Amino acid sequence: MDRRAFLAAGAAAAALPFPPSTPRSQAPAQDAERWGRTQHTKFAVNVEMWWGGRPFLERVKAAIAFGFPAIEFWPWRGKDIPALAALCTEGGIEVAQFTAWGFSPGLNEAKNHDQFVREIEASCAVAKQLGCKKMTVVGGNDVKGMEQAAMHDAIVVGLKRAAPIAEAHDVMLILEPMNIRVDHRGHCLYGSAPTIDICKRVGSTHVKINWDCYHMQITEGDLCRRLRDGWSEVGYVQVADNPGRHEPGTGEVNWTRVYQELDALGYRGYVGLECSPRDGEETAAKRVNAGDRW
């Protein structure tokens, strides 16, 4: 499912990966609970993109069955939050982050800031129910007749208004830059440099970057050095391979090297698997598991 459309509408070791030609029936069912238990990196599987077609809570149950320590998802509105909280507690799985503010209305227009502040207040209450400490916010689509610098200035103003709320609730707002070459043409914020600048201008320990390596790879590449350069502003990390936005291990990136860099930098948070399994969830989980061994 396309994330932009969704947001706009809604508000140690397992076996090596099976090759794509291997029938799923050959996957040993007794190993399923180990696939999400990786050697070094703690992954939060995105249950909007994995197990598509199932009811939301059934996707969470699948993540628990695979042994993932955490999940992430997009908007909380329209979801049964009490049922989700109970399921996560029962299944021993955490919510790493969810989306509190999407593409439209844009954070990049001052006229939307009152609504933004109200939504952050409401989202912090949901985060408390879920025991969740991070929430994604999106900058917004380009505004006709408005310069990019002015849109970025407006994002700074909006985040400065919301930062005290996040601090009071001890919830981190993670601002996500996109890519405009493949997935998000017309979005106002892409690449690490302007996003780092915005977070530094806001100046809050509770406003950092959702550093999606998929978007960064398409926008600028040089993943490990860019991570080091922007490390002070990294709040959360997501991964998906390029091309295709499938699981790590299906494209051009050496993900083991990226995980090693995160480990060396001292990152101990969750890494979001915001990717679409290419050959089924079983094979995707095995690929992720294999890539985290060194």
Residue 192 confidence (pLDDT) above 50: yes
Mean pLDDT of 149-165: 98
Look up residue 274 and give its DSSP letter. Answer: -
Which residue has 């590449």 as its token pair? 221
User: How high is the mean pLDDT of the chain?
Assistant: 92
Confidence of residue 158 (pLDDT cuts 50, 70, 90): very high
> How far, in Å, CA of 203 to CA of 197, rounded?
10
3-state class (DSSP) for residue 146: coil
pLDDT digits (tens, 9 = 90+) for 109-139: 999 999 999 999 999 999 999 999 999 999 9
3-state class (DSSP) for residue 15: coil
Number of Cβ atoms within 10 Å of the Cβ of 168: 11
Residue 1 confidence (pLDDT) above 80: no
Beta bridge partners of residue 270, listed in sequence order: 42
To the nearest whole percent, how much of the chain has pLDDT over 70? Answer: 89
- Record the tokens describing residue 12, joined without a space: 């140690």
Of the options 3.20.20.150, 3.40.50.410, 3.40.50.300, 3.40.50.620, the CATH number for the domain spanning 3-13+41-291: 3.20.20.150
Q: What is the pTM (predicted TM-score) of this model? A: 0.89
**Gap between the terminal Cα atoms of the chain:** 33
> How far, in Å, CA of 205 to CA of 85, rounded?
26
E strand or H helix that includes residue 213 = helix 213-219
E strand or H helix that includes residue 94 = strand 94-101
Q: Report pLDDT for 13.
A: 36
Which residue has 């090693």 as its token pair? 260
Number of Cβ atoms within 10 Å of the Cβ of 264: 11
Q: Report pLDDT for 34.
A: 86
Class of residue 41 by CB neighbours under 10 A (exposed 0-12, middle 13-18, buried 19+): buried
Confidence of residue 77 (pLDDT cuts 50, 70, 90): very high
Provide the b/e sequence for 187-198 (b: ≥16 CB within 10 Å). bbbbbbebbbeb
Q: Report pLDDT for 7.
A: 53
pLDDT digits (tens, 9 = 90+) for 217-256: 999 999 999 999 999 999 999 999 999 999 999 999 999 9
Pairing mode, strands 234-239 and 70-75: unpaired
CA angle 196, 214, 7 (to 5 degrees): 85
Annotated domain spans of the chain: 3-13+41-291
pLDDT digits (tens, 9 = 90+) for 9-61: 544 333 334 333 333 333 444 466 789 999 999 999 999 999 999 999 999 99
- Record the tokens describing residue 271, joined without a space: 């890494």
Confidence of residue 87 (pLDDT cuts 50, 70, 90): very high
> How far, in Å, CA of 68 to CA of 19, rounded?
22
Q: Report pLDDT for 82.
A: 98
To the nearest whole percent, how much of the chain has pLDDT over 90? Answer: 88
Class of residue 24 by CB neighbours under 10 A (exposed 0-12, middle 13-18, buried 19+): exposed
Mean pLDDT of 73-84: 98
Of 164, 258, 158, 173, the closest CA to residue 209 belongs to 173
- Whole-angstrom CA distances from 184 to 4, 139, 142, 188, 215 are 8, 12, 11, 9, 10
